[in-house]
A and B are shown apart, each in its own frame.
Chain A
Amino acid sequence: MSQLQQYAILFGLTVGTLGLVLSLYALARAIGKTRKEPGKDVPATAGQLSRDPVWVRYHARYTTFALLFLAFDMEMAFMYPWAVVYKEEGLVALLDMGVFLAILFLGLLYGWSQSALKRQ
């Protein structure tokens, strides 16, 4: 099966799931309508109505983890091709990737020492 056919199957799988979901929605709509009642469509917070909008500038505490993750994530892109050819290349591949991983680990250690790996 050539590659393009495989991607076509994946695309078909996605469209098939969308079809399943839409048919389920149609079945649910056929079963009955949702009745509009006061207070029903307000976000439910455990017995009280919270009407104020909640879309605020959410203060995430893992910002420094995120920065380190953005840079560290790239290492994965280089590791997959290396892993595939590793057995052929033998020792030079191990040393090569060793240097690469050591460099990245250095960055991680620096972050660790600057207390970036903590809940800010």
Chain B
Amino acid sequence: MFGSREFSKPNLLHGLIGRATGNDLRVLVVPGPELALAGGLDLMDAGLRMASGPRDANVLLLLPPLGDKMLNAASVAFAQMPRPRAIVALGVKNISPLPEADIYGELSQAGLIESVNSLRLHFAQNSFSNSVQSFDAPALQSRIEYTCPMHPEVVSNQPGSCPKCGMDLVPRETGTDTGQPEEKSVQKTQSSSNAAHAHSSHVKTAPAEVDHGEHKKADGESGDATAKYTCPMHPEVVSDEPGSCPKCGMFLEPVKAESDHGSHSHGSHSHESESSVSKLIGLEPGFMSMIEMTEGTPRSSDGLQMEWITVPFGPFFPGLPAGFGLELTLDGDNVAKATTSSFCGFSDSLENGPINAGDYVENLQGQMPLAPLTYRLLACRAIEAAAEKTSENDNLRDATLAQERIASQLRWLTNLGRQLGLKGIERKAAKLQLLIIGADYEQIIKLTPELSQFIKKVKATPFLRRRLDAVGELPPQSNWDGPQSIENNAAGRLVARLDDISQSLALIKKAGAIGEIKLAEIGNAAGHGHASVDTARGKANLHVELKGGQVISAKLDTPSMRHTELVAPLTDQQELGDALVAIASIDISPWEMRV
């Protein structure tokens, strides 16, 4: 009813179109294709093709676990999908903001294939129907807020005049707060200043004229001797000539030193031209001066003052980790600022009192769908350390951890292949990952030659190293404990992850068997325990406090929490494509980030 298009009496052509839509399915996976791979679902084999955006998709595939923020984003994506569209929910029951799913299936490859077949039937029958309803969701409501064109940070809910410059506020449509992942910071960036152009009111000679005159323009060439020049971002850099700041390359701005206020009488700096713009002779009233507009804006690396736009690279961006909310402030196609958030972060399950150890282990495993066994092992080890018990098959457990590491690195390779447009690597890595995830010991040993041959193929891809070695330079003292590599860039991390796969394979071969991770019997022990596990993304450690066989407090520190701080320095002043590859190269899992 929410998916089909309205037509009074569908005829033969509509039937044909319905069947064609059924045979050419473009799927938008919520939360993301990695979840499908981690759950062992082969979408390509089932006949589904990945869609690059909501406009391109006609099937919304929902996979567990789904938080309410993720469901809000899914409702936004569903609203933007053109009809005829359908929702398929595998292993998920309540998808509140979204309407009733058209097809429910259970989370397995057989369930997927069966639901794809019933989806083809569904599209063939009711792509077009006469009873159709509009889909609405809380995330789609919009309200009008008023902001001042010159000072985007002034925001109010009713029209009026801006306290700073007295210009009347301009209506601007924005989403209600429930829809946005986190509070829209009041200090909006440049983007709303271009909404300023919606104002047709002329520049009133507002009281703020006074400070215009003071701000002497940096006339690069004819800098007079007495003026001091300092860098806007590093005030301690002081030079007596114009130029660019050695630290950050920004242009040095003239600073109004007290001593030279009275003395500047040099030719080009006649006092008169210093006066504010609107007093220039021969200027028609109501002239919209551009100097005022570009005055405050920061300069880009080539000295031009341009406008920046804030663009969300939201939870379902192909190439970025699923559920990772990234908002880039773009200066042209350079990234000026990056803010990260997570649509599916984990929350401590101990708010409502202590729970017994077994449930805590299951709970932590459920919250981390991308690395379930790793965090199950971490919880077991921490609890066993607290209860001073040691489990007997520890090296077998390491083999399970190694298997999951291989699966995680292969998913990372699929993501990198999709981002760089290398379809061959993307398909092969996905196929291998599906084989590894369900394999027992003998199958893994049989897979080893295929895996090492694939690793050689990835390393031999022409121009791949050249594309990656200029990208993702980590600042020197950053706390990066992911796969260590000699060269500190994306190419180095790629090679490190490929070596990590071969090391894990060797570890599994040495361990001899894949052990099942079970919590040792701890009765009602008490005490403090600390454990740390080397996951595919870095070192995760957990501090647990036990009392009477129950966990009263736990402090989890995951690698992704630490690595999100690296996103900002990594992408500063980088080209957009390089910034996205750099973010993908540090492999952040939004599930491991706090809500």
Is A45 part of the binding interface, using a Cβ–Cβ cutoff of 8 Å? yes
Contact B312 A45 (CB under 8 A): yes
Q: Name the interface residues of B56-85: CB closer than 8 Å to any CB of A.
A: 73-74, 76-77, 79-80, 82-83
Contacts A40-B79, A46-B317, A47-B73 given: A120-B301 contact, CB under 8 Å? yes
Is residue B310 contacting chain A, with contact meaning CB distance below 8 A? yes
Q: Which residues 63-109 of A have a CB within 8 angstroms of B?
A: 63
Given the interface pairs A33-B6, A35-B132, the reply to whether A120 lies near B314 with Cβ below 8 Å is no
Interface string of A31-54 (1 = CB under 8 A from B): 111111111101011111111111
Complex contact B314–A47 (CB within 8 A): yes
Query: Which residues on A sit within 8 Å (CB–CB) of B128?
Result: 32
Whether B136 contacts A38 by the Cβ 8 Å rule is yes
A58 within 8 A of B: yes
A59 to B132, CA, bound (A): 45
B76 pairs with A39, CB closer than 8 A: yes
| CB of B185 within 8 Å of the partner chain | no
Would you call A52 and B195 a contact (CB within 8 A)? yes
When A32-B6, A52-B191, A52-B309 are in contact, do A38 and B79 touch as well, CB less than 8 Å? Answer: yes
The distance in angstroms between the C-alpha atoms of A118 and B109, with both chains bound, is 50
Which of A47, A59, A60, A120: most chain B CB closer than 10 A?
A47
**Alpha-carbon gap, A61 to B7, bound state (A):** 49
Q: Tell me whether B333 is interfacial, beta carbon within 8 Å.
A: yes
Identify A60's interface contact among B13, B139, B141, B332, CB under 8 A.
B332
Find chain A residues with CB under 8 A from B261 CB. none
| A32: chain B residues within 8 A (beta carbon) | 5-7, 14, 128
Q: How many Å lie between the Cα of A49 and that of B134 in the bound state?
A: 18
Are the C-beta atoms of B13 and A31 separated by less than 8 Å?
yes
- Which of under 10, 10 to 19, 20 to 34, or 35 or more describes the interface residues of A? 20 to 34
What is the CA–CA distance of A31 and B82 in the complex, to the nearest angstrom? 14
Residue of B nearest to A38 (CB): B140
- Determine whether the beta carbon of B309 is less than 8 Å from that of A120: no
Interface centre among A51, A53, A57 (most CB of B within 10 A): A57
Give A1-50 interface residues, CB cut-off 8 Å to B.
31-40, 42, 44-50
Q: How many residues of B contact A (CB 8 A)?
A: 61
Q: Across the interface, do A48 and B79 meet the contact criterion of CB distance under 8 Å?
A: no
Tell me the minimal C-beta distance from A113 to chain B in angstroms.
18
Q: Judging by beta carbons under 8 Å apart, are A51 and B332 in contact?
A: no
* B94: Cβ under 8 A from any A Cβ: no
Least CB separation from B188: chain A residue: A52
Q: A32-B7, A61-B334, A120-B302 are in contact. Are A49 and B179 (CB under 8 A)?
A: yes
Nearest Cβ in chain A — how far from B308, in angstroms? Answer: 8
Q: Does B174 contact A (CB under 8 A)?
A: yes
B312 adjacent to A48 (CB under 8 Å): yes
Interface presence of B306 (CB below 8 A)? yes
Separation in Å of the B590 CB from the closest CB of chain A? 13
CA distance A60 to B576 in the complex (A): 12
In the assembled complex, the Cα of A15 lies from the Cα of B406 at a distance in Å of 58
Minimum distance in angstroms from A33 CB to a CB of chain B: 7
Asked if A50 and B307 make an inter-chain contact with CB atoms under 8 angstroms apart, the answer reads no
In the complex, B375 has a CB within 8 A of chain A: no
A-chain residues with CB within 8 Å of residue B53 when the two chains form the complex: 44, 46
Q: Contact: A59 with B300, CB < 8 Å? A: yes
In chain B between 162 and 207, which residues have their CB closer than 8 angstroms to a CB of chain A? Answer: 172-175, 179, 181, 190-192, 194-195
Q: A46-B314, A51-B142, A51-B173 are in contact. Are A39 and B79 (CB under 8 A)?
A: yes
Question: Beyond A47-B73, A50-B312, is A58–B136 a contact (Cβ under 8 Å)?
Answer: no
User: Are A53 and B73 in contact (CB-based, < 8 A)?
Assistant: no
| Cross-chain contact A37 with B134 (CB below 8 angstroms) | yes
Complex: A56 Cα to B17 Cα, angstroms? 40
Q: Given A33-B6, A47-B73, A60-B332, are A42 and B134 neighbors across the interface (CB < 8 Å)?
A: no
Q: Is the CB of A53 within 8 A of B331?
A: no
User: B316 and A47: CB pair below 8 A?
Assistant: yes
Residue picked from A42, A45, A55, most chain B C-beta under 10 Å: A45
A59 with B331, Cβ < 8 A, contacts A31-B14, A49-B140 known? yes
- Interface pairs (22), CB distance under 8 Å: A34-B82, A35-B134, A36-B134, A38-B79, A39-B139, A40-B79, A46-B53, A46-B312, A46-B313, A46-B318, A47-B54, A47-B73, A47-B77, A47-B316, A48-B76, A50-B311, A50-B312, A51-B175, A52-B191, A52-B310, A54-B309, A56-B191
With A47-B314, A51-B142 known, 18 other A-B pairs at CB within 8 A are A32-B128, A37-B135, A38-B134, A40-B79, A45-B313, A46-B316, A47-B73, A47-B76, A49-B139, A49-B142, A53-B195, A54-B311, A56-B194, A56-B306, A59-B300, A59-B306, A59-B333, A61-B332
Interface residues of B (CB under 8 A from A): 5-7, 13-14, 17, 53-55, 73-74, 76-77, 79-80, 82-83, 128, 132, 134-137, 139-142, 172-175, 179, 181, 190-192, 194-195, 300-302, 304, 306-318, 325, 331-334, 575
